[in-house]
């Protein structure tokens, strides 16, 4: 009887260890790592942080904040008046090329190249083709250098 109890205990321990380890060896994908790195609130980095068509536009974007979530969505605040087509108030994004984790596509069709330079710095580069004929002339190349507090 004692021998049976010992075998039962050993079997239970083996099953417990095996069940705790099953599935946990899976490594996150490169896209999942990018999403994890982006998931926070970003603000304008000090210096020449917003460049439009090669010119420093940082002063106009001083209050800009961009928040990414782990559900591949984003919200923004502090967008200058008339520039909602550059950064809509909210949206989602996908990875259009499975081989390029540094390229995302916003739900409005804008492709953004991402360069994560550190845990607290990211660079977003994109071209906006405003077909709506905006009076503000928002079409062109943008580069946002963003920083986070964490």
Over residues 112-119, mean pLDDT: 96
Residue ranges covered by each domain of the chain? 29-147
DSSP letter assigned to residue 148: -
Q: Which residues contact 60 (CB under 8 A, 6 or more apart)?
A: 50, 80, 83
Please tell me the predicted confidence (pLDDT) of residue 25: 73
Whether pLDDT at 78 is above 60: yes
**What is the pTM (predicted TM-score) of this model?**
0.79
**CATH number for the segment(s) 29-147:** 2.40.128
DSSP letter assigned to residue 25: T
In sequence order, what are the beta bridge partners of 90?
A: 75
- Phi then psi for residue 113, to 5 deg, are -85, 130
Whether pLDDT at 96 is above 70: yes
Q: Are 101 and 30 in contact (CB under 8 A)?
A: yes
Please tell me the predicted confidence (pLDDT) of residue 146: 97
Please tell me the predicted confidence (pLDDT) of residue 49: 95
pLDDT tens digits along 55-75: 999 999 999 999 999 999 999
**Number of neighbouring beta carbons within 10 Å of residue 32:** 13
pLDDT tens digits along 118-131: 999 999 999 998 66
Q: Which of residues 55 and 7 earns the better pLDDT score?
A: 55
């Amino acid at each position: 009887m004692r021998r049976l109890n010992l075998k039962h205990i050993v079997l239970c321990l083996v099953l417990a260890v095996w069940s705790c380890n099953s599935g946990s060896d899976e490594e996150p994908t490169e896209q999942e790592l990018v999403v994890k790195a982006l998931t926070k609130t970003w603000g304008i980095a000090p210096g020449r942080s917003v460049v439009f068509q090669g010119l420093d536009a940082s002063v106009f974007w001083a209050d800009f904040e961009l928040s990414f979530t782990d559900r591949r969505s984003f919200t923004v605040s502090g967008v200058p008046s008339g520039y909602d087509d550059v950064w809509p108030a909210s949206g989602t994004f996908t990875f259009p090329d499975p081989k390029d984790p540094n390229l995302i596509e916003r739900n409005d069709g804008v492709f953004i190249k991402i360069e994560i330079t550190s845990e607290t710095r990211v660079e977003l580069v994109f071209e906006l083709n405003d077909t709506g004929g905006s009076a503000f002339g928002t079409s062109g190349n943008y580069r946002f250098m963003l920083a986070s507090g964490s």
